[in-house]
Amino acid sequence: MQQVAARPLDGEIRYGTFQGACATTALDGAAAALGIGPVRRRLREKRWQYFAAADGAVAVGGAIVHLGWAGHAFLWAVERGRPLVEAEVTALPFSVRVGDEPGEGLVARCRGLTLRRAGGALHAAGRLGQVEVEVRLEEAGTPFLTAVAPVKGGGVNLTAKQAGLRAAGEVRIGGRRIELGAGAVGLADYTHGLLARVTSWRWAAGGGRLPDGTRVGFNLVDGFNDALENGIWIGGALQPAGRARFAWDAADPAAPWAVRTEDGSVDLRLEPEAVRRRDLRLGLATSWYRQPVGRWSGRLGGLEVEGLFGVAEDHRARW
């Protein structure tokens, strides 16, 4: 897997799967090369930074999303045996920021939530509703998987993923303070692209530790980015994974999910502990998703794994 170029979205777009984070995802050159003018770009350009972290007792996550013409942020948290707690806000575009830097120097802000990358870590800090976070995801030893993919209708998308990150910090749920324990792990997803008006995907990601302490993780998608972002992390080594196929009960997303890759490198089953559900309507835009949060078990990169923290998602958007 080759290293990503510093500016893969210049006039000559470099499609493929890469290791590492690029310096910038600025889309000026890509938009010009694809013949996308300012008005169309405003409608099609989307970007977000997502994070999640968990230990054996609590999981927390959130994101800041810039849709070009509006912004959105959310936080969620769930303790084992307790109901999911979540909060979200919608904002005008000028009050939301998600920077062009997927790696060091990234700053994303919306209302009460800030996500930034500094000192080799992704820091999440802030409060929305009853959920407050102060979480750090350490990036050392967990390389970025960067994918640059064509988009139907003449667009382009770049995503930079990490899974199996070391996590530390705390979450407050309704004022109760819960510290992430030793062995906590995290996930991170930075995405910036010129996306299609109608977009959908199935996504799975997770991470944890083997009995000997080795950190592992994975990221898989179907229906989006042409499978270029499918990958596995084992002990800091990143390897590509094949096309993914999902099996789930659309009528009951709290039932177990399964995901397998065509190359046989992944065969996992998710036991959901909570399900995030959203039917979001922002004027002409909609975002429908079901995202179970739980534990993955099965085979990953030739290894037997059990109880990896993670999520799955069935998402359909018109934006």
292 pLDDT higher than 90: yes
Q: What is the predicted pLDDT for the residue at 175?
A: 86
Task: Indicate the Cα dihedral angle 281, 283, 285, 290, nearest 10°.
Answer: 0
Q: What is the pLDDT of residues 5-53, one digit of tens each?
A: 999 999 889 999 999 999 999 999 999 999 999 999 999 999 999 999 9
pLDDT of res. 11: 85
What pLDDT band is residue 171 in, cutting at 50, 70 and 90?
A: very high
Q: Distance between the two ends of the chain, CA-based, in angstroms?
A: 33
Mean pLDDT to the nearest integer, 303-310: 97
Letter string b/e over residues 181-218, b meaning 16 or more CB atoms within 10 A of that residue's CB = eeebbbbbbbbbbbbbeebebbbbbbbbbbeeeebbbb
- Looking at the predicted structure, is the pLDDT value of residue 290 above 80? yes
- The confidence score (pLDDT) of residue 69 equals 86
* pLDDT grade for 3, boundaries at 50, 70 and 90: very high
Residue extents of the structural domains in the chain: 16-318
* CA distances for 148 relative to 47, 74, 276, angstroms: 14, 26, 28
**Per-residue confidence (pLDDT) for residue 103, from 0 to 100:** 96
pLDDT number for residue 236: 86
Q: Could you tell me the two tokens for 28?
A: 């000026």
**Which percentage of the chain shows pLDDT scores above 70?**
99
Evaluate whether the domain defined by 16-318 bears CATH number 2.40.370.10.
Answer: yes
Cα–Cα distance, 249 to 247 (Å, whole number): 7
Looking at residue 1, its pLDDT comes to: 87
Q: 90-122, pLDDT tens digit by residue?
A: 999 999 999 999 999 999 999 999 999 999 999
Q: For residue range 234-288, list pLDDT tens digits in order.
A: 998 999 999 999 999 999 999 999 999 999 999 999 999 999 998 877 777 788 9
- Give CA separation, 265 vs 12, 143, 233, in Å: 32, 19, 12
* pTM of full prediction above 0.95: yes
pLDDT score at 156? 98
